[in-house]
Each structure stands twice: as C-alpha cells, then as structure tokens.
C-alpha cells in the first residue's frame, strides 16, 4: 500500500472520530441550541445570516442539531421572505457538506457508521442511489434523517448536482412551512396522521408494482411478440 493511501486512511479515521467526539461531548448543547440567541449577538443582518449559515455547516458535520429547531428559530428572528431564502440556502449547504463528507470518508466508513442506526440500515438495504424519484420521495417524507441520507449518497458516488437539486426540491416544502408557520405548524399539520397515511399507501404501491411487473408487462411483451396492437 502506498504512503498516500495510508495517510488518507489515517486522515479519514481522525476526522470521523473527531466529529463523533464533538457530537458526543457537546450533544446537550448542540441538540438544544438556542438559535434565537444569535439575534442578540448582532443587529446586522449580513452577520446574522453568516452565523446561521455557519450553524448549518456545523449541523451537517455533527448530525445532532434538530432541523425543525433551526427552521422555526430563523423564521422568528428574520423577515419571512429573507428567512425562507436563508433556510433554503442553509439546507443546500448542509446537504452539500455532508455529501462531500461521505464522498471523502468513503463507502466502507460510511456504511459502518450507518449500520449503527436503524434508519441507516434501511438505506443500506436498498439500491436507491441511481433513482431520482426515490431520492425526491425520501427527501419529501421526513422519515430518514437529512444527514444520513446525504452521507449515503456521497459515499455511493451519486452525481452531486443531481443529488443536491433533488434534495433541495424534496426538503423545501417543510422548510418553508416551518419557517413561516413556526411552532404553530404542529397544530396545523398532524404529522402522526400524515405518517400513518404514508404507511397505508405502501401496500398500494407494492400491489401496483406487482401487477405491473407480473401482469401488465408480460401482456405487453406478449402483444409485441405476436404483433398485436
């Protein structure tokens, strides 16, 4: 093995362990961070925006900062239009940073990390990195953690621009709602009922797939072979 390869392996291990250590040591502070307090630090909008976007970078690296906490807080300290733009920009930065972290750490390291969590294991069990519709669906339904998905796609070698744009498109609806409605979103949108509906739709999707695969497609193939129209 070349010295360069050994150095990269050591560097990847050091970075991964360092991020893990930070997440563990500062878990309580990061998981309950008061984003609204940033407005007390400065009254200059540009500096405030930079601080919020920097927080998104931290969120992308340590995985423990609650997403909804950030969306709501930014909506509370900024004008609605600016807040939405800042949060969408922050999400784009977040999914990009974690994607490139996954690309840097490599497939083996990321798979080892994801295998420790149930949602991570579900990702590893599916060959989804090449399917745009699946990525868009995963991002639209808040079932998988944003950063775990980003790590997976980075390590899988999915094309970055396609991944980043689909991720932003899928996540944007809830970012906008949380930013504008704030804490009131939990009374406006019964997330438990939405999740129940999604679960109920899964069998419908499975039945459709089976009918298409074993009934419709064979019929179509048979017609093509016999020359029917």
Q: What pLDDT, on the 0 to 100 scale, is given for residue 52?
A: 92
Q: What pLDDT, on the 0 to 100 scale, is given for residue 119?
A: 57
Q: What pLDDT, on the 0 to 100 scale, is given for residue 186?
A: 47
Nearest to 68 by CA among 171, 154, 164: 171
CB burial of residue 87 (10 Å; 0-12, 13-18, 19+): buried
State how far the Cα of 54 lies from the Cα of 62, in Å rounded to an integer: 13
Q: Tokens standing for 41?
A: 């630090």
Nearest to 176 by CA among 57, 81, 101: 81
pTM of the complete model: 0.68
Point out the residues of the chain with pLDDT beneath 70. Answer: 1-6, 8, 107-130, 183-210, 213-214, 224-229
């Amino acid at each position: 093995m070349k010295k360069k390869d050994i150095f990269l392996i050591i560097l990847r291990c050091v970075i991964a362990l360092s991020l893990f250590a930070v997440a563990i040591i500062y878990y309580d502070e990061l998981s309950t961070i008061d984003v609204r307090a940033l407005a007390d630090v400065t009254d200059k909008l540009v500096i405030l925006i930079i601080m919020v976007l920097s927080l998104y970078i931290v969120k992308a690296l340590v995985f423990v900062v609650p997403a909804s906490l950030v969306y709501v807080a930014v909506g509370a300290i900024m004008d609605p239009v600016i807040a939405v733009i800042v949060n969408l920009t922050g999400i784009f930065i977040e999914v990009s940073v974690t994607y490139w972290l996954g690309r840097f750490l490599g497939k083996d390291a990321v798979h080892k990390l994801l295998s420790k969590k149930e949602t991570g294991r579900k990702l590893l069990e599916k060959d989804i990195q090449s399917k745009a519709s699946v990525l868009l669906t995963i991002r639209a339904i808040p079932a998988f953690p944003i950063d775990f998905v980003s790590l997976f796609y980075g390590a899988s070698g999915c094309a970055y621009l396609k991944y980043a744009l689909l991720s932003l498109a899928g996540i944007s609806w809830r970012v906008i709602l949380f930013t504008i409605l704030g804490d009131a979103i939990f009374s406006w949108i019964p997330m438990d009922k939405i999740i129940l509906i999604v679960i109920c739709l899964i069998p419908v999707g499975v039945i459709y797939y089976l009918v298409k695969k074993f009934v419709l497609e064979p019929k179509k193939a048979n017609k093509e072979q016999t020359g029917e129209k």
